[in-house]
Amino acid sequence: MKQNTRTNLSPKYGPWAVVTGASSGIGRALAVELAAGGLKLVLVARQRGRLEELATELKVAYGTEVRVMVADLSRPEEVEQVVRSTSDLETGLLVAAAGFGTSGEFLSADLSTELEMLDVNCRAVAALSHAFGGRFAARGRGGIILMSSLVGFQGVPRAAHYAATKAYVQTFAEGLQRELAPRGVDVLASAPGPVNSGFAERAGMRMSGAASPEEVARGTVAALGRRGTVRPGLLSMALEAALSPLPRWARTTIMARVMGGMTAHRP
């Protein structure tokens, strides 16, 4: 069993955390970070094999208790199942890391895929935040981590709809943070830039200089309870420093060039 050198999160949020999108990428890295922080975990994703593999790894490494839950969060009834099946647990932390992106011109996109993305990235986030936020407020403590993105701060041609879903998450987290702080609940928007995970492959992008999921996870957990928004990773901070002084139209123009480079290999 690994020696735990991280801050023990259980006294403030524990004992249980629910992590969606836990089978890969940032969600998986966040689950590892939280297990190292002393929390028991409910791991949620669509792929049972990957979840069970991670659960075994976390039990061996950190001696933590883990539950595995297979759910497709594009389906409202399965989102509700996540809520119902955790009602017996003293859950103190929700990490809504499930999500995916698309790229290319919106009018050339498959509409069913775009609407599925809207359901996962926005509808499920709202439903889970409402349910778990209510539980946390009632007990007077808890935390919610929502995955925003650097693209959520302006329009992004060739990723217009994906960027809009992340703008929703960012705005939602900012407002929710102010609403829930007086009730003892921390809300954090994590807004990384390019990340080296399976996201880019599914979205049809090629990224260079991307942060690792582990780097994003460490920065995110470290900011929980201390900030309302964090941009984890050196590249994310550098890009934000360059973009933030500019008007929105200029940021959109620059992001059009960036996204054009990431999708130049596509027809």
Q: How many CB atoms lie within 10 A of CB 113?
A: 12
Q: Is 162 assigned a catalytic role?
A: yes
Tokens at residue 60, please? Answer: 């061996």
Q: How many CB atoms lie within 10 A of CB 181?
A: 12
Find the helix or strand (DSSP H, E) in which 18 lies: strand 16-20
Q: Residue 175 class from Cβ within 10 Å (0-12 exposed, 13-18 middle, 19+ buried)?
A: exposed
What is the arrangement of strands in the sheet containing 229-230, beginning at the earlier edge strand?
66-70, 40-45, 16-20, 91-96, 142-147, 185-190, 229-230
Alpha-carbon dihedral sign for residues 59, 64, 68, 72 = negative
d(CA 186, CA 105): 37
For residue 9, give the DSSP letter: -
For the chain, the first-to-last Cα distance in angstroms comes to 49
d(CA 169, CA 147): 7
Q: At how many degrees (to 10) do helices 76-85 and 124-139 cross?
A: 20
Q: Looking at 13, 62, 162, 168, which residue is catalytic?
A: 162
What residues are annotated to the active site? 162
